[in-house]
Amino acid sequence: MELQRIGVVGAGQMGNGIAHVCALAGYEVTLVDLSRDQLERAIETIEGNLARQASRGRISEAERGAAVARIKTGTDYGVLSGAGLVIEAVTEDERVKRQVYEQLCPRLTPGSFIATNTSSISVTRLAAATDRPERFIGLHFMNPVPVMTLVELIRGIATSDETYEMAQALVKRIGKVAANSEDFPAFIVNRILLPMINEAVYTLYEGVGTVEAIDTAMKLGANHPMGPLQLADFIGLDTCLSIMQVLYEGLADSKYRPCPLLVKYVEAGWLGRKTERGFYDYRGETPVPTR
């Protein structure tokens, strides 16, 4: 049966982006978050991003208005009862995700699918925390969702062919490209990207270069569009740390040990752009390196 309604749990940066692209593709979307303020901020962000797309001619004004009208919000999981698919996009913390599934599953029909946007945690293990592991899959969107084309598709050990085909069809309809990944810690993109970022933090920690020097070197020397420390701030240093911890614990290899300086920044609450301080200070007109 073709999906009509999609639920998204978590109205943060990833959740609002997922809601945006699904609504634009014609799905009825219900965005759920425990915080009404977060939902209001998410809708403002979605409306602003859609307006930007329309002003640049990437979508029509009619498409913009229709997409906004397709998004509903709520603070109770009960509003997701009619969704054919619910995409969980809460914080990268397994305990929090399990709590979501515990509340969510009893409110869904037996035929509904669940997807997780986890960037590193075992899909098989998350699926086992639900009442429908065969109808559970990993759909790892890249940030920012409206801009980035890739979605990693991760099957858990119990994921059925029907669930996988549903996910493939969804990715195609929203105009993204799927890359299939086995269910190993951090999958493909973050298995490669986060150790590079962690190594950049070690390079800073050991005094090999300053924040500015490291980012300039990688932008001009490796032709990266953004330096690794600037990218870490964009991702969120707490997310970077949690992915490195998953890699370190899941693969038992010392090369994945999180840099102590990354841990220190997270302990200080300097998480990057979202807290206005990380490897750069964003409180002024222009970002200033903090080291």
Q: Which residues are catalytic?
A: 119, 140, 152, 190
Same domain membership, residue 27 and residue 94: yes
Judge whether 97 and 116 are in contact, CB under 8 Å.
Answer: yes
Distance from C-alpha of 19 to C-alpha of 71, rounded to nearest angstrom: 7
- Note the pLDDT tens digit of each residue in 79-125: 999 999 999 999 999 999 999 999 999 999 999 999 999 999 999 99
Residue 1 has pLDDT above 70, yes or no: no
Question: DSSP code of 171?
Answer: H
CATH number, residue 214? 1.10.1040.10
**Which of 150, 181, 212 is a domain's end point?**
181
Considering the domain architecture, whether residues 119 and 77 belong to the same structural domain is answered as yes
Q: Are 77 and 34 in contact (CB under 8 A)?
A: no
Banded pLDDT at 2 (limits 50, 70, 90): confident
245/127 same-domain check: no
Does residue 101 contact residue 156 with C-beta atoms inside 8 Å? no
Question: Between helices 260-267 and 189-205, what is the axis angle to 10°?
Answer: 90
Q: State which residues form the domain around 227.
A: 190-289
Q: In this predicted model, what pLDDT tens digit does every residue of 215-274 receive, in sequence order?
A: 999 999 999 999 999 999 999 999 999 999 999 999 999 999 999 999 999 999 999 999
Q: Residue type for 17, please?
A: G
Residues 6+ apart with CB under 8 A from 37: none
Which sign does the torsion angle of CA 252, 254, 256, 260 carry?
positive
pLDDT for res 186: 94
174 and 255 housed in the same domain: no
As for how many domains the chain has, the answer is: 2
CB atoms within 10 A of CB 36: 12
Whether pTM exceeds 0.75: yes
